[in-house]
Chain A
Amino acid sequence: MDSHATAHSEAHEHPAHLRHHFMDAAQQKESATFGMWLFLLTEIMFFGGLFTAYLVYRNWYYPAFVAGSHTLDIKLGMFNTLLLITSSFTMAMGVWCSETRRKSGLVWSLIATIILGIGFLGIKTIEYKEKFELHHVPGSSFSAASFVNPPLDAQGKPKDTPLAPDMAIHTEVYFSLYFAMTGMHAVHMILGIAILFALLIKSAKGQYTTGHNTTIELFGLYWHFVDIVWIFLFPLLYLISRH
């Protein structure tokens, strides 16, 4: 080992996970958490651009946003919210298990989080598929026809208020934002689930239940952040003027 490492191991305990340029484990952990929070700030700003766009267009094209929002399935959206909140809870429990060195608890928490996350993406896929069938996906196949002449329900009344054609075309802006926002969110979920699998393998080997659990805690921060994004997306996209 290099000379400096031995030089300051006299003063401190020197666990294997401590990188050479940190003075002690507390400094290393604080730095890592701080770094993760700074990364999450960049995520806030990344989604911030989308939320800005959303606010601008919602104010401009409110009727189109109402009509677009009414085509989303509120039950699926709510169920997905439940899945994600629950996965945040299981992740928080995973962090607690790693802090208190409960290996099997950690493993099961991570498995639960993975399942809930995949469930969320599965439901999202069903919702996306419906949008393709209805030609509500922005791009060349988009059609605003169903907003000018809404489909009729059993009594022969239109399901939703018809829009004037010049407002109806702006539903494409709503769906552009819907896909951009939920799509970016889904990308973050997919990345998160990929990392969760790696964490699962390592925690099955007992890596995060020996006292050094920074990785699990940092990932927890990321996962909760993704949850928070959805907490905002759900009311903004699904719950516009439902009465």
Chain B
Amino acid sequence: MSTLISLPDQSTARVPKKNYITNENGIMSWLLTGDHKRIAILYLISLTFFFFIGGAMAALIRLELLTPQSDLMASDTYNKVFTMHGIVMIFFFLVPSVPATLGNFLVPLMVGARDLAFPKINLLSWYLYMAGGCLALYAMITGGVDTGWTFTTPLSTHYVNTNVVTTGLAAFIAGFSSIFTGLNFIVTIHRMRAPGMTWFKMPLFLWANYAAAILMVLATPVVAIAIVLVALERTVGIGVFDPTKGGDPLLFQHLFWFYSHPAVYIMILPGMGVISEVISTFARKRVFGYSAVAFSSVAIAIFGFFVWAHHMFIMGVSNYAALVFSLLTMLVAVPSAIKIFNWTFTLYKGSITFETPMLYAFGFMGLFTIGGLTGVFLGVSGTDIHLTETYFIVAHFHFVMVGGMLMAFLSGIHFWWPKMTGRMYPEKISQLAAVVTFIGFNFTFFPQFLLGMLGMPRRYAAYPPEFQVLNVFSTAGASILGVGYLLPVLYLIWSLKYGQVAGDNPWQATGLEWQIQSPPLTENFTEIPVVTQDVYDYEWLERQKEHEVTHVG
């Protein structure tokens, strides 16, 4: 199989001695850093930690569901486990995943700046993230919470006696971390672009992160106030959502989903940005319909504000509102489909190679398409009434979030790993991991579509025995999936010391970040670049190389 990887001669090549990792030493130089690349690494480590906490919860859930009876744990323990799985995975992994790691690392590099606009706020956002995460863990250890990640009232305000306030506070704090990341990205992309870097010369990764950042800034505060009101209702007894006083519990859901639906796009949009970069690089072509893909990101962000009540069709919203929200929901399918079609056209007649990031990207395209199309079932209010609160919906959002987002995250981590560390990961085993993940994923979640269609409700520890076969499939798949996620951790750590030296541009990609040394210097660019070439201009890259050969070599 052909490959496009071009590495420097390993006998002479060295990782540059002076780079952002070696610039300063000692733990304090990391904890007090203002360098966006170091903050990205801090985020990467802590995100991975929380991912495996959430993953352990998922393993417990799947083990419990291996048998129809609730035998591994009592029902209320099960409630706490799936709640913490949701809270950890959503607030502490999915929402910050790509923006806080790859975004933090790459946004300044891609726009040609020395750092994000507000380095201190960037560091603050990591501390807030850690504070929120630790608080959530504390709440988990001291009794947990069992409302589901949605904190639905009046369950959360009246009927449970678990750590709702502490966990809510954790989500509130994590929300501010997310707001600050988004704010930083918007200002950086507007105000810090290098000379010549016009909006339509920006890599699509930036467009996607920009769109997600808009959502972070505008949607997150609404869930913050909703959580504050829930906390006030529990602690001092104000009655905004309390039906006994005349409050409307559904209003909580309006406010909650006003954030939490756009939050889905906060999670997926940056992933889509990664896929654009990867597909283009490994097909050696400019992304087909560049501006359509760019605007579709912004369109998803804007439409994302108009559809939230499709989470509430069976909760008692008016029929008329359900109809309007159902129709508006269909709108989101348009920009999403534009992206999928354009990536496919990018592949058409491209010189495709199948390195690990590309394998993950293919996984993303397939799984995201399934996840997106099943979303249409759920967006139509008629079928939603049958399918909502069943395993169909669980399968749907896992296809989008795990199959889509996590695949994109892993794709991006592999793609930019050589830039972040200066070393290559082992190619063969990582390809194996990508394939194992894909197989394990489908085994885990495809049976859940069937289970949902058959009517198995979500969020119960026990189920009728006729559902067992499919559940066993699902649990077996989950163990394969677990292996698929553990492998990258092992070989990526291994590669830090033993990986091949990557050189500046192992993928021969066109982005600004690939034209500097890996790992980059603390100041990124010795001189602020002046951008003259178009985005994804592979001919320009060829000419650059010829130029180097004739003039330097």
A residues at B contact (CB < 8 Å): 2-4, 7-8, 19-23, 27, 30-31, 34-35, 38-39, 41-43, 45-50, 52-53, 56-57, 60-61, 64, 138-140, 142, 169-170, 172-173, 176-177, 179-180, 184
Contacts and interface: CB of A to CB of B under 8 A. Distances in A.
Nearest to A50: B225
A119 B85 CA distance: 48
A175 to B, nearest CB: 8
Contact of B523 (A2, A22, A38, A139): A2
Nearest to B232: A180
Given A20-B114, A56-B248, A46 B237 contact: no
B42 interface: no
**Which among A34, A138, A173, A176 has the greatest number of chain B C-beta atoms within 10 A?**
A176
Interface stretch (B184-192, B274-282, B370-378): B184-192
**Which among B218, B221, B254, B528 has the greatest number of chain A C-beta atoms within 10 A?**
B221
A4 B526 contact: yes
Contacts of A41: 217-218
A180 B237 CA distance: 11
B523 A20 contact: yes
A177 B229 CA distance: 10
Given A27-B191, A173-B245, A7 B183 contact: no
Given A46-B225, A56-B248, A173-B239, A38 B186 contact: yes
B221 A138 contact: no
B226 interface: yes
Nearest to A19: B119
A45 B238 contact: no
B246 A52 contact: no
Q: Main SS of chain A's interface residues?
A: helix
B224 interface: yes
Contacts of A47: 225
A142 B245 CA distance: 11
Contacts of B192: 21-22, 27, 31
B183 A56 contact: no
Given A21-B119, A61-B246, A30 B191 contact: yes
Q: Main SS of chain B's interface residues?
A: helix
Contact of B528 (A8, A38, A52, A177): A8
Interface in B226-243: 226, 228-229, 232, 236-240
A7 B187 CA distance: 24
Contact of B191 (A31, A43, A49): A31
B118 A4 contact: no
B247 interface: yes
Contacts of A179: 238
Nearest to A178: B238
B237 A140 contact: yes
Contacts of B239: 138, 172-173, 176
5 contacts: A21-B115, A21-B117, A38-B183, A64-B246, A170-B245
A31 B187 contact: yes
Contacts of A30: 191
A77 B179 CA distance: 33
